[in-house]
Chain A
Amino acid sequence: MVNQSAIPHINQTAVDICPVTPGSDQSGLVKVKILLRFIFLFVWRKGRVSRRGICLVGLCESGKTLIFSQLIYKKAVESFTSMKENVGVLDIANKGALKLIDIPGHERVRQRFFDSYKNTARGIVFVLDSFSLNKDIRDVAEYLYTILSDPVVSSNRPQVLILCNKQDHPIAKGPQVIQSVLEKEMNVLRNTQTNQLEAVAEGGNRKSFYLGQEGKNFEFADIRSLRVEFAASSAETEDLENLKKWLQSVA
């Protein structure tokens, strides 16, 4: 008699423990799926969060190393042509630390250093010399084009700031003028870069990245995957407010 009343109770508790009765492998499958989803979310978020790098790129003599030293060492230093990258940590109020990387501008080494740091880039600061832009416009535009059309950059989608440095010069151009000049140059570059010859030992498929919209003149706003902003600064007179504001927003 005791057994008879106890059995349904035991059955009930058994049901409580294993809620899904028709085959235990289904419950196992669901659990595995939930676990996988957590792992995926964790890795994805970790990937996003771990990208804390800000790359300072630009041509030679544009002022990158000076900006780097002013942000990291809080003082202006003299500098020569960089042969190697400079890496420093920048603390942003309330938002943690950013890794600032100053990549040498010399044509022969810049691609190599940029390739090693572009994966960790949360933001890219392209420094250009506002004063000598007329002479260097083709080199500046080609470098900018290479960076913007880089496949890793397009997939990671860092924020891009084009910093018009050396504004302390009386006849330096302002950011809006520089933006329009660059847009015209990039427009021409779109056609020439996509019509370049295939490289040797590449094996057929060449990814030609067409920036902006076809049929329309090139505008920075058209690049859907990246957000490009312009700002003015002057490293000589320590006027880096715009840059600091941008860094705050990126962090």
Chain B
Amino acid sequence: MLDFFSIFSKGGIVLWCFQGTSQIFTSSVNALIKAVILQERTGQLSYDHDNVTLKYKLDNEFELVYVVAYQKILKLSYVDKFLNDIHMEFRDAYKNELQLQQFGKNFEISEMFTSILKSAEEWGKLQAAAPKVMKSFEESQKSKKTVASMIERKGDDKENKKVKKVEIKVPDVKIPEPINVELSEEDLIQQKRREFAEKMAAGKNKSKPTTEKLKSPKAASKKSKESRVWPLGGAPKDMETLDYTKDKDLGESPLPQQAVYLPDPKAIGTLQGEVRDMDFESESEEEEEDVEERGKNDYVPQQVSQQKKKTGIFSLFKNLVGSKTISEEDMAPVLDKMRDHLIAKNVASEIAGKLCDSVAAKLNGKVLGTFESLANTVKASLTESLVQILSPRRRVDILRDVYESQKQKRPYVMSFCGVNGVGKSTNLAKICFWLIENNFRVLIAACDTFRAGAVEQLRTHMRHLNSIHPPEKHGGLQMVQLYEKGYGKDAAGIALEAINHAQEAGIDVVMIDTAGRMQDNEPLMRALAKLIKVNEPDLVLFVGEALVGNEAVDQLVKFNQALADYSASENPHTIDGIVLTKFDTIDDKVGAAISMTYITGQPIVFIGTGQTYADLKTLNVKAVVSILMK
């Protein structure tokens, strides 16, 4: 029961459209495009908007998008099959026009559509009607173990158990087990034979290569468990061998004598003079080491395949000349390398994974030009995605907005939130300096009533700023004022009073400094949400440090969620912008910027690059992306 189906080009022109109901789906499809595709979340193939679920398929060869919409409460199983079928049919029918990009033609595919839809629906019904097939014995877990290993006998060696563990780790094979009782040695032989048979059968195995890489060498080496000899332990029967008393006859002891240390004559004199520098490893070597160390990623890649070793000169030529369609298997090694590179640059591992999935979805099926290499295409696509993520989704011009509030005779309210120690108060002072340089008067509201010295810190900043911009230069008006009520009071109340005071005094900007809080701390998150809800600031800025790694994901998600959940209104005011601090400390590991903008979708408004007032900058998207991809 599809409500809506449409084929349109990536440039936006609709080639064909089917509408089952009178509901207008334009806004839903536009929301899908804006939220998913333009936000580089193309890894997820379905999107919910209002009561409608939208599923889409990208055709990267001809730059088309196929979108299906249906009611969210229905769980249609045949939609994916339908999309694939109609993609194939449409492509075959109109290949010529699509290659020439003649989108103005009238595409008449109603019969094609109804027939494919019918077949897909029937397929869906068959799938639902078919009784659930029981797993065959080959597919079950039991076939992996030998019968001998499952029989528990008293006094069995630990060897058997080790053998059993080894077998389970070995990837699944659909070979029926002989049912007979065997000894452990013969078990080993059988298992070896099985492994050999697998390798000969060759096929793509679907297990995770990381576990295979790590665990198979270990499994291969440990055949049996040797009993460990502890020097200080042991039974009384070992007394003689463990006796190290001096007057013992040396000939009786089976252990080696105490080692006589002979100096190595070759090493003497080689380290004279100054200590020499480390050898400089080339970049590629370092990357390989990183890959090996990072064998166990938190994020497990979704597309996993074995690398086909391409041998022969002809494959080399084929890659250079002629059109080649990109498939997922081709891209997997390149994407893995890219993902590791991003993680090495401090992008959160989850985000790096999602980005690589998104690039894979965008390039799957695309035809390579004659002298383009796969690695370059993937790299270019990834660079584009990064630029897209870092580019702001809305206009970022705080001075203009402050000017607008000034005209409306009300103060522009900015609030700063974040975890402990990221630099909220320092960057608040820097932004304050920038604003007073542009001739706006600022009121700082000291809503950090918990940390010792918070109010004094802000007072010192206020005095300092006022001495840089004395009232005489600005027509007798004090540029920076501080509104504080000491410690221990309610932050939301202080903020409210501060805003009212600013309104009366005609102050242009109010900056609310809040206490740092951990994202898991529920009462504090509630208090923050209450402050935001009660005071309705124009800008809620999340302050995060650039040094943060995977924590950024957790912090931002929980902050956003807290602001949404505890606000008890229909349109909660979530984070509007990000301030990235301590940027001067990270050298070229700028990945935190990507993690934060990807999670929230909000732009980075300010970047803090030091401790003085002038160390405030904005984001230069191209420069940061080039540093990231270097």
Contact = CB atoms under 8 A, between A and B. Distances in A.
Given A73-B104, A81-B33, A109-B38, A200 B623 contact: yes
A65 B29 CA distance: 16
Contacts of B438: 195
A84 interface: yes
A72 B104 CA distance: 8
Most central of B12, B26, B63 by chain A CB within 10 Å: B12
A196 interface: yes
Contacts of A111: 391
A242 interface: no
A25 interface: no
Contact of B38 (A65, A77, A78, A106): A106
Interface stretch (A35-43, A170-178, A185-193, A231-239): A185-193
B620 A199 contact: yes
Nearest to B620: A199
Contact of B624 (A82, A188, A198, A201): A201
A108 B606 CA distance: 18
Interface stretch (B72-80, B297-305, B396-404): B396-404
Nearest to A69: B13
A139 B170 CA distance: 60
Nearest to A194: B399
Contacts of A108: 38-39, 388-389, 391-393
A168 B617 CA distance: 44
Contacts of A104: 11-12
B352 interface: no
Given A83-B10, A83-B11, A197 B38 contact: no
Nearest to A111: B391
Contacts of A79: 8, 12-14
Given A139-B395, A188-B403, A198 B617 contact: yes
Nearest to A199: B620
B588 to A, nearest CB: 10
Nearest to B438: A195
Contacts of A84: 9-11, 63
A109 B388 CA distance: 6
A192 B399 contact: yes
A201 B627 CA distance: 9
A65 B403 contact: no
Range, interface on chain B: 35 or more
B127 interface: no
A82 B12 contact: yes
B29 A107 contact: no
B310 interface: no
B618 A199 contact: yes
A31 interface: no
Most central of A83, A108, A138 by chain B CB within 10 Å: A108
A192 B438 CA distance: 9
B30 interface: yes
B391 A200 contact: no
Nearest to A77: B13
A244 interface: no
A200 B619 contact: yes
A199 B400 contact: no
B539 to A, nearest CB: 15
B375 interface: no
A81 B65 CA distance: 12
A112 B387 contact: yes
A56 B464 CA distance: 50
Contact of B395 (A69, A142, A191, A195): A142
B33 A196 contact: no
B33 A83 contact: yes
A200 B395 contact: no
Interface in A125-142: 138-139, 142
B514 to A, nearest CB: 23
B583 interface: yes
B408 to A, nearest CB: 13
B12 A65 contact: yes
A61 to B, nearest CB: 8
Nearest to A143: B395
B434 A197 contact: yes
A227 interface: no
B199 interface: no
Nearest to B588: A201
A107 B394 contact: yes
Nearest to A72: B104
B619 A77 contact: no
Contact of A195 (B394, B399, B616): B399
B320 interface: no
B293 to A, nearest CB: 29
A111 B399 CA distance: 22
A65 to B, nearest CB: 5
Contacts of B125: none
Given A139-B395, A195-B438, A69 B104 contact: yes
Contacts of B437: 195
Interface string B7-41: 01111111001000000001001100110011100
Contacts of B434: 197
Most central of A73, A77, A84, A201 by chain B CB within 10 Å: A201
Contact of A138 (B37, B400, B619, B624): B400
Nearest to B12: A82
Interface in B348-399: 384, 387-389, 391-395, 397, 399
A44 B464 CA distance: 57
A235 B164 CA distance: 74
A214 interface: no
B137 interface: no
Contacts of B606: 197
B395 A82 contact: no
A202 interface: yes
A198 B618 contact: yes
Given A69-B104, A142-B395, A192-B403, 14 more contacts: A72-B104, A77-B103, A78-B17, A80-B33, A81-B33, A81-B38, A107-B391, A109-B391, A112-B391, A138-B395, A188-B403, A197-B617, A200-B618, A201-B627
In the A-B complex, list the 7 residue pairs whose CB atoms are closest, starting with the nearest: A73-B104, A82-B12, A199-B620, A201-B623, A86-B11, A192-B399, A84-B10
Interface of B: 8-14, 17, 26, 29-30, 33-34, 37-39, 63, 65, 103-104, 384, 387-389, 391-395, 397, 399-400, 403-404, 434, 437-438, 583, 606-607, 609, 616-620, 623-624, 627
Interface of A: 65, 69, 72-75, 77-86, 102, 104, 106-109, 111-112, 138-139, 142, 188-189, 191-193, 195-202
13 contacts: A65-B11, A74-B104, A75-B104, A77-B14, A78-B14, A80-B33, A83-B33, A84-B10, A108-B39, A109-B388, A139-B395, A197-B618, A199-B619
